[in-house]
Structure 1
Amino acid sequence: MGRHGRDRVVLVHRLALVRLAFLLVGDQETAEDVVQDAFAAVYRRWGRLADRGQVLPYLRTTVVNGCRMVLRRRAIIGRFRGHREVPFWSAEAAALLGETRRQVFLAVRALPRRQREVLVLRFYLDLSEAEIAEVMGVSRGTVKSTASRALKVLAVNLQEER
């Protein structure tokens, strides 16, 4: 599988990975940049990939790690600037998510990073606990307990908004 295989990976997985990144970083442009960087990393390593069936898990891990770097950078900049959150809600985002999911999106965005990642990987990508653990580099038990805590917080926060 040469260039054609790499191009197919981009065509098949790009949109889902951009949506994953969008849910983690909150804006379309940054999400696309993170995914582009992930594909560039795969392209650089393509000849050394022993198991091409592992490309998607590798891309997911790379995207999640890229989102973490973006969020860390934002946090550092925010400390120096008095913590101004990067605006993430736009007309494009509203069209992408739909207004009916806006409250859930905002509640998920308010969760701590690890909880947000677990829920997005579980409920958006429908990954198993084992797959999430692999992507995040944590144990299955950590995934399970983090998801449980996150769902409790979401239930409380969404109930308060009603």
Structure 2
Amino acid sequence: MDLKDFWKLFVKGDKDAFRRIYEAHSDALYAYGINLGGDHDQVLDCIHDLFVHLYGNHKISENVNIRAYLLASLRRRLFKLRKTAEETVVKEGDVEVEESAEVGLITRETEQIAWERLKEGINRLPKRQREILHLRYTLDLSYPEVAKVMNINIETCRKLSYRAIKLLKADLETITYLVIVFSLFF
């Protein structure tokens, strides 16, 4: 039995299907909610409210892209919550750099600079471009799925993604050059 079969049972109110759908998608929903700027408790509350609202709701279509449907629903809930609370809190996660004992000081510092530049570059991107990159490359959604979640057309989604990557690439070319120079001398 695959998730689509469980979704059909979930829509009809089956508790086991509810559990399976929740377990299959809760981590991705949480990561997406945090990426949208929600705090831990706010995101968890919205996820739980979403599933409580969906459970036994017979108006839900049985033929949907489950992941895209849940992500879009969570997005709407978070934005509605943010709008009613009139607060705009953006909390960015830290990018961690794995360090090895064998890596030299210069390489570690260069990598740290590169990660910091990437993080700064991502933070400078417009909010919609950051969201598209997260959906596309962190949650591995296709462009049509990202477009559906964000309620934009596919071409706009592709353009925003391309522009974001182009900006990040230009920003990182300088640091890449420095990495190559340091590698040659050390």
Residue 3 of structure 1 aligns with which residue? 15
Does residue 132 in structure 1 map to residue 158 in structure 2? Answer: no
Deviations along 1:22-42, one digit per CA (max 9) or x if unpaired, are 122153233223322322332
Q: How many Å apart are 1:106 and its aligned residue? A: 5.4
Q: Which residue of 2 aligns with 1:88?
A: 91
SS at match of 1:58: helix
Q: TM-score, normalised by structure 1?
A: 0.71
Instruction: Report the CA distance between 1:71 and its aligned residue.
Output: 5.5
Identity of aligned residues (%): 25
Give the drift of 1:87.
7.1
Select the structure of larger CA radius of gyration: 2
- The structure where helix makes up a greater share of residues is 1
**Is the contact between residue 36 and residue 90 of structure 2 (CA under 8 Å) also seen in structure 1?**
no
Given the alignment, which residue of 1, 5, 25 partners 1:13? 25
The one of 72, 81, 103 aligned to 1:61? 72
- Secondary structure (helix, strand or coil) at the match of 1:25 reads coil
Q: What is the CA distance between 1:99 and its match in structure 2?
A: 4.7
CA shift at 1:133, angstroms? 1.2
Q: 2:125 aligns with which of 100, 111, 116?
A: 111
**Ranges in structure 2 where 5+ consecutive residues have no aligned partner:** 1-8, 99-111, 179-186
Cα RMSD for the two superposed structures: 3.2
> How many pairs does the alignment contain?
148
Question: Would the aligned equivalents of 1:107 and 1:157 in 2 still touch at CA under 8 Å?
Answer: yes
What are the ranges of 5 or more consecutive residues in structure 1 without an aligned counterpart?
79-85
Deviations, residues 39-97 of structure 1 (Å, cap 9, x unaligned): 2332262x2223165332211111222343455568x546xxxxxxx4736xxx55xx6
